[in-house]
Structure 1
Amino acid sequence: MTVELSFLSQYRHPFLLFDELPDAYTEHPFAPFALTDAFIKEAGETAQPILHFWQTSPLIILGMMDTKLPYLSDALPSFSRHGYPYIVRNSGGLAVVGDKGVLNFSMIFPEEDERLPIDDAYARMHHVIQAAFASFGKSIEAYEIKDSYCPGDFDLSIAGRKIAGISQRRIRGGIAIMIYLSVSGDQHTRAQMVREFYDKGLKGTKTKWNFPAVDPNVMTTLEEAFDTPMTIDDAKRLLLAAFEPVSLQKGELSSTIRGSYSEGFEKMTVRNDKLLP
């Protein structure tokens, strides 16, 4: 299957790739979110497209809406019992799970002339994922998997089971389109943790916010869906192959990026101190 990625050719600068970064910019759970904001600002100010790979140790990444659960304080310890700390991210959506089997990938673009429509931004990531994994001969579709964790209109699935979720964030003329890819590991347990969280956080209470009735059976990993072993490095290699039509350069953490990172880290600290009990 051939997937059209013509949008890649519209940028006049090479894509900067940020992957192996110093520990100071990877070890803290807030780091990737502060970096994302820094990269968005950089893209907006310099017209520079950026690619960013990142992972976390075991971590629950909550959305803002999760903090509205009526019994949040009773629900959060369920993650700790599984050995997963938790934070609240600075972009939309609901809870997702990070660990060594989950790859996060962001495409950051400048919005130079006009705002990129929301659905067009999501479609860009969908098309990149289709292109990257086309050799496996499985259709990767984009529609809501209702009973997955963090469901959305652009959930990516294979044979009706979710493999990935996409989000986006915009700042000062830049946009990040971000995806988590469940590459390997125990997706059933990941989903079960989130289901337990909502069960304990709601206790049957009706709220004006919609929280998913998470069904672990509607989620899977790339490894399981393709019925072949797959590592994080395998997934990175396939993703980068989709960018062969453009020039890639190793990204360097400039003084402006480092400054914006520090600002973003402070905002994440304040956000989490305020929202988590």
Structure 2
Amino acid sequence: MKTAMLFDQGMIPHKDHFSPFALTDILTTYAGEENQPIIHFWQLSQTLILGMKDSRVTYLKQGLQAIREANYSPLLRNAGGLGVVSDSGILNISLILPKQSIHPLSIDDGYQKMLDWLNRTSYAQANITAGEVVDSYCPGKFDLSINNKKIAGIAQRRVKEGVAIMMYLSVSGNQNYRGELVRSFYQAGLEEAFGTLGYPAVNPTSMTTLSDAFDKILSIAEVKEELLQNIPFTNETDRLSEFYTTEEYQQRLKNMYQRNIGIQEDFYD
């Protein structure tokens, strides 16, 4: 693979929580225009990242109340799908590639590249498998599991000639609590319709973390190092300011603020 550009936002302050979503689109466009692979790491503190479908639960205010009671904050992302948790034990990883280099990058190709990347690490010894875990939160065809317990979910976002393959990886922390949080959001937001209408009947025990799977505490820094050890890359994090100052980034950031106005008003009401 051509040498990748690494952009590591680390743990993003709460006031900048919309940043990685705006930045992903900018980096994806850049990857396509420049035929340049990119790796993007980021984290958010105590956040339930909601998909657009989640904003349409029957009793949204009650669902948001459940998030508040768990001491998390909601964020409505600029894509479909369903809710996922982000906190200090979750690493968000994007592998951003041109749609077409030697041949067009299909949706399944994109998912497979993320799985192949993880399987080049020492974590592959745990036999990571791909397949939907239907009672996890945000279930999907390329859920990644160890011993039938989900450790990661993968999604894609395509912008112009680039594609971002995005994975949240549960590294450490109380995964059961995360599952209870998402379950409580859907229980409060759907009431008697819980587990129907295309929303998962979340079972917190269907998921785990890398740390629990390997029976040792793994740090976010260790996981980043492991992921990067077999990838040719240059750390371009210091160049992030170049993207932050572009008009397109500012517009996408503004769009994120506007998208979240209703959610934030209901949350703090």
TM > 0.5: yes
Pick one of 100, 115, 118 that aligns with 1:129.
Answer: 118
Deviation at residue 18 of structure 1 after TM alignment: 0.6
1:120 corresponds in structure 2 to 109
Letter in 1 for 2:80: G
Alpha carbons 1:31, 1:265 under 8 Å: kept: yes
Whole-Å Cα distance in 2 between the matches of residues 263 and 97 of structure 1? 26
Pick one of 247, 252, 255 that aligns with 1:264.
Answer: 252
Structure 2: 5+ residue runs without aligned partners?
Answer: none
Whole-Å Cα distance in 1 between the matches of residues 196 and 225 of structure 2? 43
4+ runs deviating over 6 angstroms: 21-24
Identity in percent: 42
Q: TM-score if structure 1 supplies the norm length?
A: 0.88
Q: Give a deviation string over 1:206-263, Cα, whole Å, max 9, x none.
A: 79831111111110000000111200001101111131xx343424126456313212
CA-atom RMSD in angstroms: 2.2
2:234 corresponds in structure 1 to 248
Deviation at residue 29 of structure 1 after TM alignment: 1.3
Aligned residue pair count: 262
Deviation at residue 134 of structure 1 after TM alignment: 3.8
Q: Taking structure 1 as reference, are residues 218 and 17 closer, same or farther at Cα in structure 2, changes over 3 Å only?
A: same
Q: Give a deviation string over 1:37-69, Cα, whole Å, max 9, x none.
A: 111111122222111110011111001110111
Alpha carbons 1:38, 1:258 under 8 Å: kept: no
Pick one of 165, 180, 187 that aligns with 1:199.
Answer: 187
SS in 2 for 1:123: helix
Letter in 2 for 1:205: A
1:3 corresponds in structure 2 to none
2:4 corresponds in structure 1 to 15
Deviation at residue 269 of structure 1 after TM alignment: 1.1
- 182-191 or 253-262, which moves further after superposition? 253-262
Whole-Å Cα distance in 2 between the matches of residues 267 and 70 of structure 1? 24
Letter in 1 for 2:105: L
Structure 1: 5+ residue runs without aligned partners?
Answer: 1-8
Letter in 2 for 1:200: A
2:224 corresponds in structure 1 to 236
Q: TM-score if structure 2 supplies the norm length?
A: 0.90
Deviation at residue 172 of structure 1 after TM alignment: 1.0
Q: Give a deviation string over 1:62-118, Cα, whole Å, max 9, x none.
A: 011101111111111111111101111112210111100000111111124554111
- Equivalence map 1:83-94=2 (5 Å): 83-94=71-82
Whole-Å Cα distance in 1 between the matches of residues 245 and 228 of structure 2? 25
Letter in 2 for 1:271: R
Whole-Å Cα distance in 2 between the matches of residues 107 and 22 of structure 1? 18
- Equivalence map 1:22-171=2 (5 Å): 27-112=15-100, 115-134=104-123, 137-171=125-159
Alpha carbons 2:11, 2:44 under 8 Å: kept: no
